[in-house]
């Protein structure tokens, strides 16, 4: 993604303008239940007054998800064949003929139909999820998808957006980018920020056993990481800054509980389209519990004293 750049827009624009929406490897009906209602499919927008009836919905997913069931077109791609499917769509878009019956398990006439629908759209938007970022090829697939979007922009307006799971994934990428120039996987060990996913990314470092202390902040790698990465986590000292008990806190040496942001303490978070919103404090945290910001400020001071 950092190699090619990508066209963005806000969810408000999707709501008001999009007449074609693609969900690739994501299932908003389950993971983002109000996405389709508020922003992307059923929402009645300025130029899309009739909501769902003014939009074409395309879903690319190996499974017949609930989102796929209400799509106009479902491309039931074989698992891990996303890259091939995108390449086929790009080929069709450029006027090449597909001399096979199926690509990546999808009948070619459905591919033709999908490309035709994309070309005809006034404003298209591709949302992609874990299904893409976790399938074989990972960020290369995204690069290819971005190229598809660039190709489509020769015909119409088209954008793409990742469906963020945790509420402030985007915020972290924003903050780290304005502090270091890179969105994630930043290595400060040489005294300046370096970025080289595959080398400086968490799972790779854990699998190779290169890091010797882990501070885990409000997330649960113990439950989601590959076995070999978790084995290394079990070996090294682990600090958890985290309100809840999780499989990762079970592997830790120090647990520092904090107030729950967005419920017990306010703060800024970035929506998946990059719009910053202010989270509210609704109730008080349990007595004596500090906020994340307070914990890191105290830690920072103590580190200054030790260095």
Partner 1 sequence: MVEIVKNVVCPFCGCLCDDIEIMVEDGHIVGTRNACRIGHAKFMHFEGSVRYTEPLIRENKKDDFKKTDYDTAIEESARLLVESKLPLLYGFSSIGCEAQREAILIGEKIGAIVDNTATV
- Strands (E) across 73-149 are located at 73-75, 102-103, 106-107, 123-128
Look up tokens 């790779």; give the residue: 204
Work out whether 167 is an interface residue with partner 1 (CB under 8 A).
Answer: yes
Q: Which stretch binds partner 1 (CB under 8 A): 48-56, 85-93, 108-116, 199-207?
A: 199-207
Q: Does 276 bind ligand SF4 (CB under 6 A)?
A: no
Q: Is 33 in the site for ligand SF4 (CB under 6 A)?
A: yes
Tokens matching residue 116: 């035709």
The string over 182-198, giving b where at least 16 C-beta atoms fall within 10 Å of a residue's C-beta and e elsewhere, is bbbbbbeeeeeeebeee
Tokens 């404090």 correspond to 281
Region of 13-21, 100-108, 115-123, 166-174 interacting with partner 1 (CB under 8 A): 166-174
Stretch that binds partner 1, among 16-24, 43-51, 65-73, 213-221 (CB under 8 A): 213-221
Nearer to ligand SF4, 39 or 182 (CB): 39
Residue 154 interacting partner from partner 1, ligand SF4, none (CB closer than 5 to 8 Å by kind): none
d(CA 38, CA 85): 29
Q: How many residues bind ligand SF4 (CB under 6 A)?
A: 3
- Strands 254-256 and 238-241 come out as parallel
Please state, in angstroms and rounded to a whole number, the distance separating the CA atoms of residues 88 and 108: 9
* Six-digit token string for 51: 């909501």
Q: Which does 268 bind (CB under 5 to 8 A by kind): ligand SF4, partner 1, none?
A: partner 1
44 touches ligand SF4 by CB under 6 A: no
172 binds partner 1, rule: CB under 8 A: yes
CA angle, 288 as apex, 282 and 292 as ends, to 5°?
65
Tell me: does residue 205 bind partner 1 (CB under 8 A): yes
Which residue, among 153, 116, 151, 123, has the nearest Cα to 14 in the 3D structure? 123
CB atoms within 10 A of CB 299: 14
Please report whether residue 266 would count as binding ligand SF4 according to CB under 6 A.
Answer: no
Query: Which one of residues 2, 4, 34, 284 is an interface residue with ligand SF4 (CB under 6 A)?
Result: 34
Q: Which of 14, 133, 148, 158 binds partner 1 (CB under 8 A)?
A: 133
What are the residues whose beta carbons fall under 8 Å from the beta carbon of 105, sequence distance 6 or more?
62, 76, 77, 78, 81
Least Cβ distance, residue 35 to ligand SF4 (angstroms): 6
31 in contact with partner 1 (CB under 8 A):
yes
Q: Which of 15, 32, 55, 74 binds ligand SF4 (CB under 6 A)?
A: 32
Residues that bind ligand SF4 (CB under 6 A): 32-34
């Amino acid at each position: 993604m950092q190699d090619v750049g990508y066209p963005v827009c806000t969810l408000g624009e999707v709501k008001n303008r999009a007449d074609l929406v693609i969900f690739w490897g994501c299932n908003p009906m389950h993971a983002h239940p109000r996405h389709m209602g508020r922003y992307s499919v059923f929402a009645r927008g300025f130029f899309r007054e009739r909501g769902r009836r003014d939009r074409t919905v395309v879903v690319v997913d190996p499974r017949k998800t609930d989102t796929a069931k209400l799509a106009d077109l479902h491309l039931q791609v074989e698992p891990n064949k996303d890259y091939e499917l995108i390449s086929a769509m790009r080929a069709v878009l450029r006027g090449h003929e597909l001399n096979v019956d199926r690509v990546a398990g999808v009948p070619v006439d459905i591919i033709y139909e999908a490309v035709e629908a994309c070309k005809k759209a006034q404003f298209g938007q591709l949302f992609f999820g874990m299904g893409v970022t976790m399938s074989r090829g990972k960020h290369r697939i995204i690069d290819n998808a971005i190229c598809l979007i660039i190709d489509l922009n020769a015909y119409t307006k088209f954008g793409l957006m990742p469906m963020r799971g945790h509420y402030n994934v985007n915020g972290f990428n924003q903050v780290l980018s304005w502090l270091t120039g890179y969105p994630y996987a930043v290595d400060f060990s040489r005294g300046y920020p370096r970025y080289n996913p595959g080398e400086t990314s968490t799972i790779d470092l854990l699998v190779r056993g290169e890091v010797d202390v882990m501070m885990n902040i409000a997330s649960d790698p113990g439950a989601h990481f590959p076995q070999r990465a978790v084995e290394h986590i079990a070996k090294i000292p682990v600090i958890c800054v985290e309100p809840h008990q999780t499989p990762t806190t079970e592997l830790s040496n120090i647990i520092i509980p904090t107030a729950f942001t967005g419920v017990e303490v306010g703060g800024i978070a970035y929506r998946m389209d990059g719009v910053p919103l202010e989270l509210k404090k609704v109730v008080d945290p349990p007595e004596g519990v500090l906020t994340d910001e307070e914990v890191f400020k105290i830690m920072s001071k103590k580190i200054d004293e030790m260095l």
